Each structure stands twice: as structure tokens, then as C-alpha cells.
Structure 1
Amino acid sequence: MVLKLYGLSISTKTRSVAQVCKELNVPYELVVVDIRNGEQKLPKHTQNQPFGQVPYIDDDGFVLYESRAIARYLAKKYAGQGTPGLIPINDPKAEAQFECAASIEAFNFDPFAYGVAWEKVFKLRRGLQTDEARMAEMLATLNTKLDAYEVILAKQTYLAGDNVTLADFFHLPLGTMLEGPGFELDIFSKRPNVSRWWKAISTRPSWLAVKDGA
């Protein structure tokens, strides 16, 4: 049975899971959930994703939601194919470094990148006005966090060491949005080591394949 990915093609988290599938050579079927019309809040969806969000997967009857959890599950289940070591499960120290990097993304990048995107992109799509002061606050914090990234990436190729992991990939959907046409905040390119890292992960074939839609 082909893995079923329930989500919207352009949603950030749906594309994140789709990229991992591409890296691992895992075929998937995208089952479209029309979040614009609130389909994710209907009982047929919430029985599998009780928070009424996307995505979730159905892997031959095994249902799982939360994109980071899904990515970890896929990386472990299909560790023998595609890109190796997306989670370095055979080396406790390397796995600890991965978990450190994953925490960095989840708590030092995502909240502030999302805060900027919410004010500048998502609010406008909903017909709401941008709170410029709030956006500036989020952007200032994000820049401070990326200064720390510059220090880390001066010592190693990727966020968890010298091999690419899921922790790097998790940055791509929001990071691409902030660097995209009409936005272009220059948050990556003005830092040499961050710029090198960003170019390496954002040009991977797996991301280019889903960048505009899962």
C-alpha cells in the first residue's frame, strides 16, 4: 500500500513531509485536504488529526500526525534507502547532536520565522492587516538567533554536524517563504556560514521537487 499523505499541496508542513519522502525514495499519494474551506475541521479529518490541522499520514493503517514526528518515523523506518543518516540512530553522540539541532529549529527558529510569516503573509491572505511593530520584533529576534547559527555553522557543515539531517530540512518551508519573491529579508545571505548552509539545503533535488507543491 502506498503511503497516503493528507494535507494541502502548498502547506508548509505538508511539503516538509513530502520532502522527506523524496529523500528516502518513499512513494506517496497526496490526499488533498481543502483547508481553505475548513475541511480539516470536519469529523472525517479530526478523527485522525484531533487538532484539525495538516498533515497526517496513513501508512497501511498506521495513522500519525505532527510533521516532525512523521519525518522521524519515516527516517527510521526507511533508514536503509535513500539519503542515509537523516537521524543518526546508530551513534548515541551523533543522535544527541541531531536532537540538539532539532530543538534549535523548533524553539529558536520556527516560532520567530512563523511570527514574521504570519504578519507578512498569512494575515494578508485572511484579509487582515500586518502588525508592523510585531513583525519587526519577531524579525529582530530571528536575526539574533541566526547570529548564533553563524557561530555553529562556522564549525561544521550542517546544524547537527558534517552530515545533513532532518533538523536542516525542517527549516526549508518557512525559510523559503521568508526569502521568496516579494519578501526577501536577506536573513541568510548576509551571514557567510549560514548562507553556505542555506544554499546547500535549499537546492537539494528533494526540496526543489516539492518547493512549489507536495
Structure 2
Amino acid sequence: MVLKLYVSQHLGGGGAIVAMVLAEKGIPYEPIFVDLDKKETKTPEFLAMHPFGQVPVIDDDGFILYESRAIGRYLAEKYADRGPALLPTGLQAKAIFEQAASVESSNFAPAFLKVVREALVKPRHGLPVDHAVIDETLVALAEKLDAYEAILDKQKFAAGNEFSLVDIFYLMYAPLLASRAGIDVMTKAERPNVTRWWNELIGRPAWVKLQAEGYN
């Protein structure tokens, strides 16, 4: 049975990073598009898979899993022998990986999500945009990226010198803002290490292909 990936009709976000893991690993799957505007994630059938009524969700031959970061870990471990490793081995390497994953989820993602809500979600629903929130959040985010600049001065990728699942997590929101709202904070002259890292991520063949298919 081919793995099923339930994603929004507005491609991007968590669905895009799950698709990226699948692409990097060369895992065949069937995308099933769920219309959020029609509240298709709130039907009894969908809520039986995801009690919070969100996407993405995967159905791997009857095994249902939601939350994009959890899905990424599951796929990377199940298909460890395909494509890039994505998950490290060894106690210390795993600890560094989890440290980097925690940094992404607690420092990077919340700030970007706040800007996404103002710059992308509100306009789609005809709601007024609070530009002050965007400006203040981008200033705070720039300070966080200064720390990334120091980290990436010592290593090639987010969790070390090897491309990993953590790097894929960063593709959740930043490309959306750049492509749909023209807000690009990842490629600034004052942060050459962040720029180098970011350009390598968005230049990966799997990501370029997904963009061409409309995942961002």
C-alpha cells in the first residue's frame, strides 16, 4: 500500500517539509489534498485521524501519524537505508541533533509563524494586517539569526556538518514568506554563514522539484 499524505490545498508549511523528507528519501506516496476553507479537516472522518483537525497527516498502511516533525522522524528512521541519513547515530551526535531541533521549534518557528499569520493567513481571510507585529517580530528574529550566524560559522548545517532532518524543518515557514509575501530575512549580507546555509537548503534538487510542483 502506497503511503498517503494528507495536506492542505494551500501547499506549504508542515506538508511541504513532510513532502521534502519523502522526496529526499525517494519514498513513493499519494498526496491527498484537504480543503481547509471548506473545513474538511473538521469532519468526523478526518478528526478520527487527527483530533485537532490539522494537516499534515500520513497513513502508512493503516498506521496514522500527525505532526510534521514527528512524521519526519518516523520516515527518516523507517527508511534509514534510503537517501541521506537525516538522523545521526551515536549518543553525542543524537544529543546535538535534539539540541538543534529544540532550537528550531522554540526559537525559530514561533517567530516565523507569527509573521506568517499576519502576512499570509490574515490577508487570505480578508482580515486587517498588523504591520507593527510584523516589524517587531522581524527585529526579534534578526537577533536570533545573529546567534545562528555564530553557530554556522563553526559548522555547515544546523546540527553539525551533515545535512539532517533539522535542516528540513527550517523549510516550513521561511520560503513561504519569501515567495508569497516578499519577506526574506535568511539571505542578508551581514549574515554570510546563514546565507550560505540557506542557499544550500533551498537549492537542494528535491526542494527545487517540490517548488516546481507547487509545494511552496
**C-alpha displacement at 1:11, in angstroms?**
3.4
Tell me the equivalent position of 2:120: 121
List per-residue Cα deviations over 1:154-190 (Å, max 9, x = no partner): 0000010000111111111311122226413344333
Tell me the equivalent position of 1:50: 51
Contact kept in structure 1, 2:58 and 2:65, CA below 8 Å: yes
**C-alpha displacement at 1:196, in angstroms?**
0.2
1:135, 1:184 → 2: CA distance? 10
Tell me the equivalent position of 1:184: 183
Question: 2:33 is aligned with what amino acid?
Answer: V
Tell me the equivalent position of 2:215: 213
Contact kept in structure 2, 1:143 and 1:187, CA below 8 Å: no
Structure 1 residue 195 corresponds to structure 2 residue 195: yes
1:185, 1:32 → 2: CA distance? 28
Structure-to-structure mapping, 1:125-136, within 5 angstroms: 125-136=124-135
Runs of 4+ aligned structure 1 residues displaced above 6 Å come to: none
- The share of aligned pairs that are identical, in percent, is 45
Tell me the equivalent position of 1:79: 80
Contact kept in structure 2, 1:56 and 1:66, CA below 8 Å: yes
1:188, 1:115 → 2: CA distance? 20
1:111, 1:184 → 2: CA distance? 16
2:38, 2:155 → 1: CA distance? 44
Structure 1 residue 108 corresponds to structure 2 residue 110: no
Tell me the equivalent position of 1:99: 98
Could you say what the CA RMSD is over the residues aligned between the two structures, in angstroms?
A: 1.4
2:130, 2:56 → 1: CA distance? 28
Flag the 1:181–1:31 CA change in 2: closer, same or farther, 3 A.
Answer: closer
Structure 1: tracts of 5 or more residues without a match: none
Provide the TM-score with structure 1 as the length reference.
Answer: 0.95
Tell me the equivalent position of 2:26: 25
Structure 2: tracts of 5 or more residues without a match: none
**C-alpha displacement at 1:35, in angstroms?**
1.0
Question: 2:198 is aligned with what amino acid?
Answer: W
2:28, 2:104 → 1: CA distance? 27
1:6, 1:177 → 2: CA distance? 19
List per-residue Cα deviations over 1:17-48 (Å, max 9, x = no partner): 01100011110101111112110011110000
